[in-house]
Structure 1
Amino acid sequence: MASSTSNSSSTVPLTPPNTLKRKQQHNVESLNVSPLKPKLLLHDLLQYEKLTPTSSPEKKSHKLTSSKNKRKLNGSIRRPIPNSTLSLDCYPMIKPNEKSHNKYLHCILNECQNIVVVAGAGISTYAGIPDFRSKNSGLYSKNKCNKSLMDLNMIYSNESMTLKFNELMVSLYSKSINAKITPFHQLLDKLAEQKRLKRVYTQNIDSLETKLPHVMETQINKTKGNYPILVQLHGNISETRCNKCNNIRKFDPNRLQTSENPKGRLIPSCLECEELESVRSIAGLRSKGVGTIRPTITLYNEVHNKGDAIADIINYDTKLKSIDLLIIVGTMLSIPHVKKLCQNMAHSLKNGRRRKGHVIFVSNEPPTQSILNTFKDTLDMIVIGDCQTLYNYID
């Protein structure tokens, strides 16, 4: 009997024992997610190697009952050296120097209680919505106009530019309403359902986040602290706004003139303004003019119509001591104010008393030297690979 016990403890079983329950797969069909291929995760293998009664997955709770437990939980996460790199393409191989990195990523995604995400176009390309700056597939390269196609001073400078802008907006709108949410969007919804997602700052205008039942609210309440989870930094493509009366309507692609719709208008007029003018004319009142509409997106050389309210939310989150994880994902931070937002929040998580938050940068390409200089030693981990893979890290 003694020799039998010795042999069983000296080797690691190739498969988990019968007493260990397998983790149930997330039900992603409820939100029409196209899941990635199932993969054997490195943290699973690590759990099989060192299994204790207190680390059983089914006993895990995302809700902490006291600050004492919270300190103990954070203390169990072994933080890597700054700017450590983890490749998500290493599966199913296990590299010795990446075992601890995988365990760290798994821990913070499952144990951090107040998470802020700053997202870019990289989280939506999986859904078939192209980004702007990719050399071969980006919208700028296809339209050959660079960022001038999103510049307020340029898109209405001549009819040719306005026509290209209209075609771009109609194309983006069509892709957005037909797109299914991605595994990463499902991850966001899961975190929101667990009450662990504090905020999502998105640069995307595709409004895919509004399809998530636990994230969808976008109405900004001015009451301090009573803010929505989702903050759209650059507006969205699903609505139009009048430049005169500020009336919001659902985007109607049939009203915009394109090469396939010559009956539309290059610059559509506001239907509410037209109706008001008709009433004023019948009443014998003087004309006040009719406004024009375009999608509720923020262009270059334009002030965000909700800029002050968004600034209040950013200031509130930056000063909030409970934030313990910042995820920068799908963006190379080429927009100055977004880079500043991430820099200030990362600095806040790393400085001051009890500020021991975690900061990770997730992208399918390495960060530029400019990004490394911006964050210096505040990045705990640089995760290189498809951000959709992160969905598999959530228990």
Structure 2
Amino acid sequence: MKMLINLRNIIQPRFTRHIVCVPAYKPPKEEDYEKLLKFLHNHDHILVLTGAGISTESGIPDYRSETVGLYARSNHKPVQYQEFVKYPKVRQRYWARNFIGWPRFSSIQPSTTHLVIKDLEKRGKVKAVVTQNVDRLHHKAGSLNVTELHGCGYIVKCLECSYEVDRFKLQVELLKQNPEMETSFNMIRPDGDVELSKEQVERFRAPICPNCEGPLKPDIVFFGDNVPKQRVEKVREEVKKSDAVFVMGSSLTVYSSYRIILQAKEENKDVAVLNIGPTRADDIADIKVSTKCGEILPDLYNTLVSS
């Protein structure tokens, strides 16, 4: 272990790094490896909680990171649930952007971090994955026991009846209804949409339910909406069955994720946090490491399986 870390310190320049979509970060320190390796050795029923910080490694920007997050780069704010429900124009704008962004968003592949989590699950070390992300990258990586806390963009549901449709199938229908829409764009967003002109939006025909003509919405928990109670209870049960929680790539800003940490601490379980920059749980986590997940996890995994 020591030899591996010392070699990394020799070949890695000691400066803050920066990758597209990933905020600036410093390489991990030797003690970071030792803390997290001990954490992985000591626990065999780990619940992994992931956030946007692992999907930035795949090329999907997050909202809150300094300089590279969506809030830092534009005036764009995510769609609010109540506005989506109330206003047809809001739905039209959302679906127009989502339609153009979908081919690229849906083609993005898992990062190294997603793959390491899958491998840890395969070896029985990780028992459950709870993700705040809506991109289905854990499924693409091959993880099996995944709870999508905020839903996903791959399923679309009617707000007024029980109709639901696969997002790929809906894309075909939207293309038939909007053949004149341009298919070029400059910047993908965390929720899969892009920037369009006012004229492009106004020409777009938003989807409606084929059964009741009600509005359609991705199965995503929009800002201002609540995580379904059944899903909350499922996550609570997963935390109870775990012996530790490992947070990767989340600032834990939203309460739906932070309460997972609160529950774990109430149950006297160890919590490790691996995230670039500060998080809401820094003062209660047992371990906090500030670096890119993909920078440290592969070596941790290789050392773990060879020991």
Return the match for 2:253 from 334, 349, 356: 334
Return the match for 1:316 from 237, 240, 247: 237
Partner of 1:19: none
Partner of 1:380: 286
Distance across 1 between alignment mates of 2:147 and 2:213: 30
1:1-395 to 2 correspondences below 5 Å: 40-41=4-5, 89-90=27-28, 98=31, 101-141=32-72, 144-146=75-77, 149-155=78-84, 161-170=90-99, 173-213=102-142, 215-216=143-144, 229-251=145-167, 252-253=170-171, 255=174, 260=182, 264-266=204-206, 268-271=207-210, 273=211, 289-304=212-227, 307-320=228-241, 323-348=242-267, 350=268, 357-367=269-279, 371-373=281-283, 375=284, 379-389=285-295, 390-395=297-302
Q: TM-score, normalised by structure 2?
A: 0.73
Residue ranges of structure 2 left out of the alignment (5+ in a row):
10-24, 184-199, 303-307
Q: Secondary structure at the match of 1:104?
A: helix
Q: Secondary structure at the match of 2:128?
A: strand
Change (3 A) 1:291 1:158: closer
Distance across 2 between alignment mates of 1:43 and 1:111: 25
Q: Secondary structure at the match of 1:237?
A: strand
- Contact 2:47–2:239 (8 Å) recurs in 1: no
What letter is aligned with 1:386?
K
Distance across 1 between alignment mates of 2:67 and 2:115: 28
Distance across 1 between alignment mates of 2:171 and 2:66: 28
- Contact 1:43–1:102 (8 Å) recurs in 2: no
Q: Cα deviations across residues 99-121 of structure 1 (Å, max 9, x unaligned)?
A: xx532322322452101011110
**Alpha-carbon shift at residue 41 of structure 1 (Å):** 3.0
- Contact 2:147–2:235 (8 Å) recurs in 1: no
**Alpha-carbon shift at residue 203 of structure 1 (Å):** 0.5
Distance across 2 between alignment mates of 1:88 and 1:128: 19
What letter is aligned with 2:287?
M
Distance across 2 between alignment mates of 1:160 and 1:245: 21
What letter is aligned with 1:371?
A
**Alpha-carbon shift at residue 362 of structure 1 (Å):** 1.0
Distance across 1 between alignment mates of 2:132 and 2:162: 22
Distance across 1 between alignment mates of 2:138 and 2:150: 13
Distance across 2 between alignment mates of 1:172 and 1:325: 37
Change (3 A) 1:192 1:362: same
What letter is aligned with 2:245?
L
Change (3 A) 1:126 1:172: farther
Change (3 A) 1:173 1:163: same
- Contact 1:204–1:236 (8 Å) recurs in 2: yes
Distance across 1 between alignment mates of 2:71 and 2:100: 13
Change (3 A) 1:156 1:308: closer
- Contact 2:247–2:273 (8 Å) recurs in 1: yes
Q: Secondary structure at the match of 1:244?
A: coil
Q: Secondary structure at the match of 2:47?
A: strand
Distance across 2 between alignment mates of 1:327 and 1:43: 26
Distance across 2 between alignment mates of 1:174 and 1:105: 37
**Alpha-carbon shift at residue 140 of structure 1 (Å):** 4.2
Distance across 1 between alignment mates of 2:123 and 2:7: 21
Q: Secondary structure at the match of 1:269?
A: coil
Distance across 2 between alignment mates of 1:108 and 1:43: 22
Distance across 1 between alignment mates of 2:235 and 2:98: 28
Q: Secondary structure at the match of 1:181?
A: coil
Q: Secondary structure at the match of 2:281?
A: helix
Change (3 A) 1:244 1:158: closer
Aligned length: 261
Q: Cα deviations across residues 305-334 of structure 1 (Å, max 9, x unaligned)?
A: xx23222223323433xx232111211111
**Alpha-carbon shift at residue 145 of structure 1 (Å):** 3.4
Change (3 A) 1:299 1:391: same
